[in-house]
Each structure stands twice: as C-alpha cells, then as structure tokens.
C-alpha cells in the first residue's frame, strides 16, 4: 500500500484451505497483479487505522487476527462481517465479494470505460468484464443521436439532403 501516491498494489493473496490452513500465495492470474488507485476516503481511513494499529514493519500485516498473523476468513465472517452487515441493514447472506461488485458498479455509473473497470478488477480481459457487467453500462441512444447531429451541424440550415426517391 502506498498512501503517499494513494494506491494499493495487488501482489499476493491469502488463501485458506482445510488441508493447508491460512497461507500467502500469488494472485490467481497474471492480470490479477495490478495497482489500484485508492479514493481519498480510503487513504484517510487507512492512515487512521495505521495510527491506531501500526503494522509490524513494511512486511507486517495491516489487518491482524487478535492473536496476530493473518485474519482467518471464518473468524472474520463471524466476528466482524456479519455483525457489521446486520448493524447497517445489509441483507443476510451478503458476502464480502459483494464489495467488488459494488466497486465495479460505481466505476461504471460514473463513466469509467470497460477497459478501466477490467484493469481495476484484474479480469483476464475486457470481454470477461462485459460478460458480467454489460447490463450496467447506460444505453447510449441519445449520445449516438447527438453525435450524428453534431457531426452535421456545420452544414447550412438551408441545405436539403439528397434523398433517393426509390428508397
């Protein structure tokens, strides 16, 4: 995390399996390695968190389990996520992955391109992003009309288009 430049680099992930327990490994795909810009509110929240709970050196965990080390998913879900969701009225059964969809939806709503959304989410390609989120991009009927009207607006108002009578 680079708070000075307001970015977070995704270089590893935490996995939890019954066989191996909790461990750190590389992200799923090459595209999963990425740098994501952080909004000012996230930078401010991270600064406050690190002030109250300093990381144990540059390689230390930012969020830790009560006994230290990485947060175990099941403990996080039972001890933090579900109580927080209940407190603010988020539907039971909503998981943390919903935050990823919310983030993508916000980017789309505020005009980000499919390429940008794909890069931020670490999708393999833009087609993957479109397969999931295409319904969220606004219909562009009015923009296409306006584009054609603007392209021909320089023509004289008196000029009549030539129309083929056979058409």
For residue 11, pLDDT over 60 is answered with yes
Q: How sure is the predictor about 64, in pLDDT bands with cuts at 50, 70 and 90?
A: confident
Nearest partner of 64 among 26, 10, 35, 75, judged by Cα? 75
Confidence (pLDDT) at 164: 57
Contact yes or no for 7/37 (Cβ under 8 A): yes
In the predicted structure, residue 10 carries a pLDDT above the cut 80: yes
What distance in Å separates the CA atoms of residue 53 and residue 50, rounded to the nearest whole number?
5
User: Nearest 10 degrees: CA dihedral of 139, 145, 147, 151?
Assistant: 170
**Angle subtended at Cα 161 by Cα 156 and Cα 164, rounded to the nearest 5 degrees:** 170
Measured distance CA(51)–CA(56) in Å, rounded = 12
pLDDT at 7: 96
Beta bridge partners of residue 34, listed in sequence order: 10
Residue 9 has pLDDT above 90, yes or no: yes
pTM of the model: 0.74
pLDDT for 111: 92
Alpha-helix residue ranges (DSSP H) falling in the chain: 40-52, 73-76, 82-88, 97-109, 114-121, 126-133, 141-151
Q: Which two tokens stand for residue 141?
A: 């009927």
| Amino acid 134: pLDDT | 92
- Residue 61 in this model has a pLDDT that exceeds 80: yes
Tell me the average pLDDT of the chain. Answer: 88
């Amino acid at each position: 995390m680079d708070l000075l430049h307001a970015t977070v680099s995704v270089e590893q992930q935490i996995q939890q399996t019954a066989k191996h327990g909790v461990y750190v490994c590389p992200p799923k795909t090459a595209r999963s390695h990425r740098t994501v810009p952080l909004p000012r509110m996230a930078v401010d929240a991270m600064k406050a968190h690190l002030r109250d709970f300093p990381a144990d050196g540059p390689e230390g965990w930012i969020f830790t389990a009560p006994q230290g080390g990485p947060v175990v998913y099941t403990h996080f879900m039972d001890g933090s996520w579900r109580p927080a969701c209940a407190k603010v009225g988020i539907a039971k059964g909503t998981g943390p992955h919903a935050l990823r969809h919310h983030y993508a939806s916000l980017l789309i709503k505020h005009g980000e391109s499919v390429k940008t959304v794909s890069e931020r989410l670490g999708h393999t390609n833009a087609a993957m992003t479109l397969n999931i989120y295409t319904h969220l991009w606004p219909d562009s009927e009015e923009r296409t009309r306006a584009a054609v009207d603007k392209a021909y607006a320089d023509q004289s108002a008196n000029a009549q288009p030539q129309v083929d009578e056979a058409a």
